[in-house]
Homo-oligomer: A and B are copies of this chain.
């Protein structure tokens, strides 16, 4: 397992490809900001290059310290295309607002995003896989794994889990209102921001099953307050 679970104190590496170029958004290599965005997101968009070109697929994920664990169809894809490590790019984006300017040109989106570069490694060790699977469940709903039947060795053997180091990459954040040209500020056009949020609704129990249970606390607290 190495240092999984230990939070790295160092910020992310700014290489040529992860150095930020654009001005209007705020970029950062601060690990705390990268981790906060990764911990809030639900799905990562993972790109790799196969024999014919780029492929990007959604995957569920979890962060454990300075490692990202990925689970989903792309893990099988990686199994087919990679022996050992495969270079991947992982992106997580949270949408915070629609930015409506007076000019069409200056419309934008408020967001927080992370882009990571690294070598994806298939996890072979059953203990590391088990810890990763628990983290994947708890990433969806904090504390969820404690109430569930944990994975058996047989289940873990049939599951592909991929590990990517959180080392090279950056966060980007856009906040605030539209930035119109001065000569447009007097136009008769409403401008501002429509806030966007991801909300979690009332839990829907799995019907028609033998056991009837109340909604546990760890599920109830995931619901967005009205």
Contact = CB atoms under 8 A, between A and B. Distances in A.
A196 B40 CA distance: 14
A215 B187 CA distance: 15
Specify how many copies of this chain sit in the oligomer: 2
Interface string A9-53: 000000001000110000000000000000000110111111011
A40 to B, nearest CB: 13
B53 A87 contact: yes
A185 interface: yes
- Interface of A: prevailing SS: mixed
Contact of A205 (B150, B190, B219): B190
Given A189-B148, A214-B190, A140 B55 contact: no
Contacts of A144: 100, 107
A216 interface: yes
